Structure 1
């Protein structure tokens, strides 16, 4: 193992130790529609990843935008997954959802984030996804 590989291995191990949240990264499908009754059923979901992660606010302040006749505050987060995570059969894309299912910080538990960007790189210490809270 050369010096670069050793440094990357140490950085990836350190990044993994910071991953204290548990998340579900998934993609919503089209809602089921029951034609005879005219009602909308449940929306299907495809799981892309489930497991440990680090969820960290990018900026402490949010910005307000007008969305559908109501003000919404957008807050950006970086969601880091272990480097060793096998690539999912479907790559995450903007619009996918990150649900924080558990966290030592009770304020993060139950948080829903929408993926806005996914980063890739061979010298990264973690797989990073940019997401936003649209509440």
Structure 2
């Protein structure tokens, strides 16, 4: 059995664990002004829609923003199928569209890291929930 055969089998097995579904979007240009609301609105374009797996990680880290403001940053590993295209990039937005964890569905999270490896069984991302 070749290395390629072993990787193909591992990728098939890893794909069976992708029980969540997600939407990954990328900013489509600069924000535009909406005169009806008086606010700037960011437009997004779809990069990927399909199976994924959001995993739990350690607790969040508190980050001080100013004198009395802080935000807790939670990072989560996400797996995509090996053949997911096109390439996901940092600062893309990931939203779970289906999951057994109903609390996670609909939460927009930012892609903060993309892993690369020729012998991986899936695409590895790290996303951050800045709630």
TM-score after normalising by structure 2: 0.86
Report which stretch shifted further, 70-79 or 40-49: 40-49
User: Once the two structures are superposed, what CA deviation does each residue of 1:10-64 show, in whole Å capped at 9, x if it has no partner?
Assistant: 11111111111111111123222257x79335421111101110111232x1111
* RMSD (CA atoms): 2.1
Contact persistence 1:57–1:75 (CA under 8 A): no
- Contact 1:119-1:127 at 8 Å conserved across structures: yes
- Counterpart CA distance in 2 for 1:73 and 1:95 is 18
Q: For 1:42 and 1:70, how far apart are their aligned partners in 2?
A: 25
Q: Which runs of no fewer than 5 residues in structure 2 stay unpaired? A: none
Which protein is richer in strand relative to its size? 1
Detail structure 1 runs of 4+ shifted over 6 Å in the superposition. none
5 Å matches for 1:75-86?
A: 75-86=74-85
Q: What's the CA shift string for 1:48-92, capped at 9, x where partnerless?
A: 101110111232x11111236522111111111101223x1xx43
- Superposed CA deviations along residues 80-135 of structure 1, whole A, max 9, x for unmatched, are 1101223x1xx432221101111012122122211111112211000111111111
Per the alignment, in what secondary structure is the counterpart of residue 47 of structure 2? Answer: strand
Alpha-carbon distance in 1 for matches of 2:18, 2:76: 14
What's the counterpart of residue 61 of structure 2? 63
Secondary structure (helix, strand or coil) at the match of 2:5 reads helix
Q: Report if aligned partners of 1:82, 1:126 keep a CA contact under 8 Å in 2.
A: yes
- TM-score (ref. length: structure 1): 0.83
